[in-house]
């Protein structure tokens, strides 16, 4: 009897603790439409991506990641009723016209009309003032081994007083890489140009989420961690900080909570997270994703891996680079843009900020 009482007590706790997430549906969402896009106060262009959750075609490998939705009418509407039409640059990828950007204090929503007549719309959301980065810096941390040498990063947002604020931060790292040039041909053959310094941009999809609960008006830290000291090439960290609505913050927080589920008995059950988009013409049509509206600040930090480095640490690094073949000395190549074995290879330069 005591075991039964304990079982039903635990069952009550499991069913009563999770009250934050609502309106989840458990039916098959393979026909759901995915919408992603954003606008801010900085210069565009802005994009909206439309696709179905899943599809399969033995003749088109791109359909493994969701069939794109083409020939849609995509518009952004402001609080005064002014509409800005997007154009389809490629399948399922829609761009705003040149010169269009949002205005701080104005509200905006997204409206999509599909070829089959379905109308998808987001809720209105206001462009908040862009956040200010109070600090964005780094230091060098020496160690006995190169593997333990680090560049700790620091960043914080200057929070405004007497206002409930929510921040969404994207991070993108840009890492320079250097390849080995092949041996030149024997004379009198001309020596080809060797362009072996390029950039890569490792994929990062997890945002940083910060709010000013119990810290109103203070500098809010962004936990960026540390960079390794594994080469002498440059490393640039880019932050895009958005001041967003409570609804947008909650949406991304719920997604992050589910991603980090550890499997404990009191963890949230994975479920569909509802965004700010609905199909007005057909309530049974599932629409996933979020149209984000918020003031934005973008900055880059160039981590100088030469200046201020102790001579002993530098000599250790030179040996480490050679011993671990960091420069791909066994794969000499004339042009680093052609190095397909380097993931997310950008070529010679960074994209504009």
In a domain? residue 207: yes
Counting residues of the chain whose pLDDT is more than 90, the rounded percentage is 61
Q: Is residue 203 a part of any domain in this protein?
A: yes
- CB of 229 within 8 A of CB of 142? no
Q: Give the pLDDT band of residue 261 (cuts 50, 70, 90).
A: low
Can you tell me the distance from the alpha carbon of 86 to that of 235, in angstroms, rounded to the nearest whole number? 35
How does the average pLDDT of the chain come out, rounded? 85
Query: Is 69 within a domain?
Result: no
- In the chain, the number of structural domains is 1
Q: For residue 350, give every residue at least 6 positions away whose Cβ sits within 8 Å of its Cβ, in sequence order, or none.
A: 174, 199, 236
Structural domain boundaries, residue 212: 132-244+298-347
Confidence of residue 214 (pLDDT cuts 50, 70, 90): confident
Q: Is 304 inside a domain boundary?
A: yes
Is residue 93 one of the residues assigned to a domain? no
332 is a domain residue: yes
Residue 19 pLDDT > 70: no
What is the C-alpha separation between 120 and 122, in angstroms, rounded?
A: 7
Domain assignment of residue 172, yes or no: yes
Q: Are 34 and 50 in contact (CB under 8 A)?
A: yes
Q: Picking from 62-71, 153-162, 177-186, 295-304, which range would have the lowest pLDDT averaged per residue?
A: 62-71
Residue range 281-291: mean pLDDT, rounded: 91
Going by their DSSP bridges, the two strands 87-90 and 107-113 should be labelled as unpaired
Q: How far is CA 328 from CA 146, 342, 347, in A?
A: 19, 10, 16
212: in domain:
yes
Half-sphere exposure of 244 (CA within 13 A, CB side): 26
Tell me what pLDDT residue 60 has. Answer: 58
What pTM was estimated for this model as a whole? 0.81
């Amino acid at each position: 009897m005591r075991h039964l009482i304990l079982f039903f007590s635990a069952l009550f706790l499991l069913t009563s603790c999770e009250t934050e997430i609502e309106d989840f549906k458990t039916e098959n969402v393979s026909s759901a439409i995915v919408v992603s896009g954003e606008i801010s106060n900085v210069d565009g262009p802005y994009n909206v991506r439309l696709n179905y959750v899943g599809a399969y075609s033995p003749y088109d490998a791109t359909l493994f990641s969701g069939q794109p939705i083409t020939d849609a009418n995509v518009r952004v509407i402001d609080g005064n009723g002014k509409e800005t039409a997007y154009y389809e640059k490629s399948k399922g990828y829609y761009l705003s016209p040149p010169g269009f950007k949002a205005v701080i204090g104005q509200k905006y929503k997204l409206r999509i009309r599909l070829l089959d007549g379905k109308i998808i719309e987001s809720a209105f959301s206001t462009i908040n003032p862009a956040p200010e980065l109070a600090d964005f810096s780094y230091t060098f941390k020496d160690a006995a081994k190169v593997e333990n040498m680090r560049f700790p990063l620091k960043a914080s947002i200057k929070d405004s007083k007497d206002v409930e604020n929510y921040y969404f931060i994207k991070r993108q790292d840009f890492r320079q890489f250097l390849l080995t040039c092949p041996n030149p041909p024997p004379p009198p053959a001309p020596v080809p140009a060797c362009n072996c310094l390029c950039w890569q941009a490792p994929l990062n999809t997890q945002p940083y989420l910060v709010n000013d609960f119990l810290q109103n008006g203070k500098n809010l830290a962004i936990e960026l961690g540390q960079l390794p000291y594994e080469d002498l090439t440059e490393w640039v960290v880019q932050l895009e900080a958005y001041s967003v609505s409570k609804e947008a913050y909650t949406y991304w927080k719920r997604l992050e909570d589910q991603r980090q589920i550890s499997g404990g008995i009191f963890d949230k059950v994975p479920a569909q997270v509802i965004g700010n988009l609905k199909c007005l013409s057909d309530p049974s049509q599932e629409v996933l994703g979020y149209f984000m509206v918020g003031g934005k600040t973008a900055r880059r930090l160039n981590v100088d891996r030469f200046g201020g480095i102790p001579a002993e640490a530098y000599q250790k690094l030179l040996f480490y680079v050679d011993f671990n073949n960091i420069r791909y000395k066994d794969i000499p190549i004339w042009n680093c843009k052609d190095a397909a074995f380097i993931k997310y290879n950008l070529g010679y330069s960074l994209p504009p900020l």
